[in-house]
Structure 1
Amino acid sequence: MKKFFSICLILLSVVLISWGFKAHRVIATIAQKHLTSNTAYVVSAYLKGESMADVATWADENKNKATTPWHFLNLPLGLTHEDFVKAVQQSDNNTYTALLKTEATLKDKTVNPEQKNEALKYLIHLVGDAHQPMHISRKEDKGGNTIQVRFDNKGTNLHALWDSRLIDHEGLSETAMIKAYDLATPAQIQQWQSDSPMEWLWESYQLSSELYAQTKAGQQIDEAYYQRSIIIVRKRMDQAAIRLAGELNKLFNDEQLKITNVTLVPPPPVSAGVASLVKLEEIKNAIGKTIRTEGKVYSSKDIGSMVLVNLGAAYPNQLLTVVLKGKAKELGTQLENKSITVEGEVTNYKGKPQIVIIDPLKIKF
């Protein structure tokens, strides 16, 4: 029986990027609006001056073999609430256990600020994951990734549909989404924040069970499906934001900050000048530095929440991957075969240098 209810974890590819870049930022921004003043101060200090929106997708961008399972939880269909709770409690290394782990780290007075910074970035992201229905789903179809459907005259899958396609179809900017989604009443806020993470996951499990029943392979997703679904998306994102704020207020509202080696990050001085130029061939030696580099775009790929642009050679032999997000993503179709100059911090992703760009002004061509 225990084996039947054990949680089946599966290492998913980059297609599992929950809620998409814009949605995670919206959840984090709404949550930040509902923080107490002391909580907001503590959060800002632990994040070194970055906003919650700035770090909302950090956990997706820094996945590794150990942390990838933190973003989802796989269960068989048809569980009662009692069986669901037992199954989750017997599980390990998934969204539920990751939420418990990150909150425990943030409560621990002996943990250093760098560890708190990382735990907080995970918590901001994973509360959102817990509310995406297809992240609490079943193993055999990889959370809906293998269930192909069509939407907006394009092929997609059930998981991607709920990650970002429904939101993209709505066509709202981040600012408009925040205004349209942040509608919780005082009574709803009180109720949602009183629910435990186990109940968040149970809600998502119930929804994904309904989606499996309603959505068939090869289905054309019509306007009626979209209209029903976007209401659910809005509510789940609002719930995620309100509950994230609630968790942070519980953790930090009464905390007397005693941090001596973490300060709020000031804007760079005007005299800082332009970032130093590094040759593309030497980019691997610039990990952790903010630099400029130049190179030819050999290939690019739109994966929904971001566009991956390969400089120096085509994938998988590129010297640098430029990750376009937010407003910069719109440049993706304009860069093929062009020589560009890009400015940003070089990070290491699975052994390859990359620069994440949100501001389109950081690319010149």
Structure 2
Amino acid sequence: MRKQVLSVALIAISAALVSWGYKGHRAVATIAQKHLTANTAYAVSAYLKGESMADVSTWADEHRNPTTGKWHFLNLPLGLNHQQFVDFVNQQSNDNVYGAILKEEAIIKDKASTPDQINSALKYLIHLVGDAHQPMHISRAEDKGGNTIQVRFDNAGTNLHSLWDSKLIDHEGLSEEQIAKQYDWANEAQIKKWQDSSPMEWLWESYQISSELYADVKPGQQIDEAYYKKYIQTIHLRIDQAGIRLAGELNRLLKDVKGGVAPVSSLKNAASSGNKKIDVTQDSVAPLIELKDVKDFLQKDVAVSGKVYSVKDIGSMVLVNFGAAYPNQLLTVVLKGDAKQLASQITDKTITVMGKVIDFKGKPEIVVTDKKSISIEK
């Protein structure tokens, strides 16, 4: 009985500390995934052993311990100006969301880190960047980030922290797919501006918002539709910024990764595996190679990027010429099955293809039947 009570208590504590909720964290990860370069996307997929960024986005909440539990938030007093805020954060220990983000980024960038270390660091970073953008995670210690400020919303009791984790998002009534699509609205100028900012500035933004939220609520308050309409756009902004900035950090950290970055087997089997986790061993991770070298990789799984010069639909398949127009192409990619759907999207685009290189009449060729094996550069 005592064990049962303890388990229930631990579950309750864990639930109270969750940030952005399930939908919010998956939206951050899904938006980030869309803004990765091809090379980074394959590096991330390889290090995550075939799991998607969305699938691991809540892993850090599910694997908390007394040390890592402190990594999800930052406690500060109200009323700090920007310089006071920066000084306060820099004077703290590293056991907070700011220190944890810097720590995990250092592990990812360190060439001496093992694949398992990078796997763990990626899972934390994907989650913690989301945490940094949830305003109530950069807030006061005395009310546990709003967890002890009780309010009512949608005819039920809740608290200020949970309201911002998930209740406002749930009230919107969108599916995960709709959230990821509708929240991802930034233009190129905004993306550049957001990605040029530092983790310290992300936290400062959250601190400014949480300061406003504290001033805009009273314990026991009935949260009405006007409050929802006022702040749901702030949630859209923070989740989009988190996704865009996460992508920017990963693109920067993994831009120099060469070779051993594309888990070809995992992507080929993704459709038949559904939502199951796919284990990718070191042997099944294919190198990202130069297009000019593709002829040297016959009968090997590779990832290769190049410009599409021409596309020809011959009915049962679509022929895609890489590197030059036919008959001088460096590689022919043959699209079959659902991969044929991409034919109209890739002309004159740079794409990355994963698959086994074969010889067809003296020319290297890759046959693709799964559209997930192709990434189109923006």
Q: Work out the CA distance in 2 between the residues paired with 1:28 and 1:217.
A: 33
Per the TM alignment, residue 179 of structure 1 is displaced from its structure 2 partner at its CA by: 1.4
1:177 to 179, 192, 215: 179
CA-to-aligned-CA distance 1:46-85 (integer Å, 9 cap, x gap): 0001110010000001111110000000000001100100
Q: Work out the CA distance in 2 between the residues paired with 1:85 and 1:239.
A: 20
Unaligned stretches of 5+ residues in structure 2:
1-12, 273-378
Per the TM alignment, residue 91 of structure 1 is displaced from its structure 2 partner at its CA by: 1.1
SS state at 2:16 partner: coil
- Give the structure-2-normalised TM-score: 0.66
SS state at 1:53 partner: helix
1:155 to 157, 164, 171: 157
- The CA RMSD over aligned residues, in Å, is 2.1
Give 1:333's aligned residue: none
CA-to-aligned-CA distance 1:235-277 (integer Å, 9 cap, x gap): 000000000000000011232134799984764998xxxxxxx
- The 1:22–1:109 alpha-carbon spacing in structure 2 relative to 1, beyond 3 Å, is same
Identity of aligned residues (%): 67
Give 1:22's aligned residue: 23
- The 1:110–1:226 alpha-carbon spacing in structure 2 relative to 1, beyond 3 Å, is same
Give 2:117's aligned residue: 115
CA-to-aligned-CA distance 1:8-32 (integer Å, 9 cap, x gap): xxxx643110000111111101100
SS state at 1:15 partner: helix
Q: Work out the CA distance in 2 between the residues paired with 1:25 and 1:231.
A: 18
Per the TM alignment, residue 178 of structure 1 is displaced from its structure 2 partner at its CA by: 1.3
The aligned amino acid for 2:65 is N
CA-to-aligned-CA distance 1:305-358 (integer Å, 9 cap, x gap): xxxxxxxxxxxxxxxxxxxxxxxxxxxxxxxxxxxxxxxxxxxxxxxxxxxxxx
2:103 is the counterpart of 1:69: no
2:50 is the counterpart of 1:49: yes
Give 2:129's aligned residue: 127
Q: Work out the CA distance in 2 between the residues paired with 1:259 and 1:236.
A: 30
Give 1:230's aligned residue: 232
Q: Work out the CA distance in 1 between the residues paired with 2:103 and 2:15.
A: 24
Give 2:242's aligned residue: 240
Q: Work out the CA distance in 2 between the residues paired with 1:248 and 1:263.
A: 23
1:205 to 204, 207, 213: 207
The correspondence of residues 73-84 of structure 1 with structure 2, limited to 5 A, is: 73-84=74-85
The aligned amino acid for 2:37 is T
Give 1:249's aligned residue: 251
Q: Work out the CA distance in 2 between the residues paired with 1:234 and 1:268.
A: 30
The aligned amino acid for 1:240 is A
The aligned amino acid for 2:110 is D
Per the TM alignment, residue 116 of structure 1 is displaced from its structure 2 partner at its CA by: 0.4
CA-to-aligned-CA distance 1:120-157 (integer Å, 9 cap, x gap): 00000000000000000000000000000000111000
Give 1:346's aligned residue: none
SS state at 2:158 partner: strand
- The 1:78–1:47 alpha-carbon spacing in structure 2 relative to 1, beyond 3 Å, is same
Deviates more, 1:228-237 or 1:259-268: 259-268
SS state at 1:110 partner: coil
- The 1:87–1:177 alpha-carbon spacing in structure 2 relative to 1, beyond 3 Å, is same
Q: Work out the CA distance in 1 between the residues paired with 2:203 and 2:262.
A: 37
The aligned amino acid for 1:95 is V
- Structure number, greater radius of gyration: 2
Q: Work out the CA distance in 1 between the residues paired with 2:107 and 2:268.
A: 27
Moved over 2 A (4+): 257-270
Q: Is the 8 A contact 2:46 2:263 kept in 1?
A: no
The aligned length equals 260
- Give the structure-1-normalised TM-score: 0.68
CA-to-aligned-CA distance 1:208-257 (integer Å, 9 cap, x gap): 00000001101010111000110000000000000000000001123213
